[in-house]
């Protein structure tokens, strides 16, 4: 069973008297343990597809199964639970709480999931160790470099042991040297068994993935796999 399975997925918007198709019948399977990059020009539909895969939005029609669960028909509460339990998000802008320590930022998804405090702390520490930030646990975001902030964001994404790590332009706000370090971290996480889906417009970032989907005009134009 594929981890991600979409069948004839559409996302349409009505603007005035016109209907805009952001996605036009995308059928796709991503297996557990894959490392996939989604590429495409601005307005191609790549962000729309990421939002649907990440349960941040619902399709206009078609079906989406994540880990065998039919999510295309779920209500907001069910989608929120799936987002918290099944998906770890890494954004271009880090999205960290400025007044909270690295440890508390990483803990947050576990707070929402109702995990007891002692277990939360242990798991948050473990996630920070996985991204090599054990010595920065008590630092706040303004005491960390951009790369360290993104590592905190990755640790937060990992803390719930999600089925999938979803990264949207994760190096977009970083200099090239720090971007290379973050992509090396993603490589290690993939080798450790994590499923990664990465949205990027940069070919050198997409080159880290073992499969690249090119989207244009809401359709998958190309699906290229390379040897692992």
| Interval 27-81: pLDDT, tens | 999 999 999 999 998 889 998 999 999 998 889 999 999 988 898 888 888 888 8
In a domain, 17, yes or no: no
Q: pTM score > 0.85 for this model? A: yes
Give the mean pLDDT of the chain. Answer: 91
Residue 54 near residue 89, CB atoms below 8 Å? yes
Cα separation, 115 vs 111, whole angstroms:
6
Amino acid 228: pLDDT: 58
Cα separation, 93 vs 170, whole angstroms:
8
In a domain, 19, yes or no: no
In a domain, 66, yes or no: no
Average pLDDT, integer, range 195-223: 93
Average pLDDT, integer, range 103-112: 92
Cα separation, 219 vs 69, whole angstroms:
24
Q: Let me know how long the chain is.
A: 228
In a domain, 205, yes or no: yes
Q: In the chain, how many domains are there?
A: 1
CATH of the domain at 133: 3.40.50.300
Domain span including residue 193 = 33-60+87-225
| Interval 146-201: pLDDT, tens | 999 999 999 999 999 898 999 999 888 888 899 999 999 999 999 999 999 999 98
């Amino acid at each position: 069973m594929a981890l991600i399975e979409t069948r004839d997925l559409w996302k349409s918007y009505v603007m005035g008297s016109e209907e805009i198709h952001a996605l036009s019948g995308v059928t796709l399977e991503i297996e557990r343990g894959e490392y996939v990059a989604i590429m495409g020009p601005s307005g191609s539909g790549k962000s729309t597809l990421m939002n649907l895969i990440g349960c941040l939005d619902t399709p206009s029609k078609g079906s989406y199964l994540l880990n065998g669960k039919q999510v295309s028909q779920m209500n907001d509460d069910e989608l929120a639970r799936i987002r918290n339990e099944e998906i770890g998000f890494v954004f271009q802008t880090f999205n960290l709480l400025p007044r909270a320590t690295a440890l508390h930022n990483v803990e947050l998804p576990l707070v929402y999931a109702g995990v007891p405090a002692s277990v939360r702390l242990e798991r948050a520490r473990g996630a920070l160790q996985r991204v090599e930030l054990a010595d920065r646990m008590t630092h706040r975001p303004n005491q960390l470099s951009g790369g360290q902030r993104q590592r905190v964001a990755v640790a937060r994404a990992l803390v719930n042991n999600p089925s999938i790590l979803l990264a949207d332009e994760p190096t977009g706000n970083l200099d090239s040297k720090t971007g290379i370090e973050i992509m090396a971290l993603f490589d290690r996480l993939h080798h450790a068994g994590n499923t990664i889906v990465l949205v990027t417009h940069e070919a050198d970032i997409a080159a880290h993935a073992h499969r690249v989907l090119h989207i244009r005009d809401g359709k998958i134009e190309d699906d290229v796999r390379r040897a692992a």
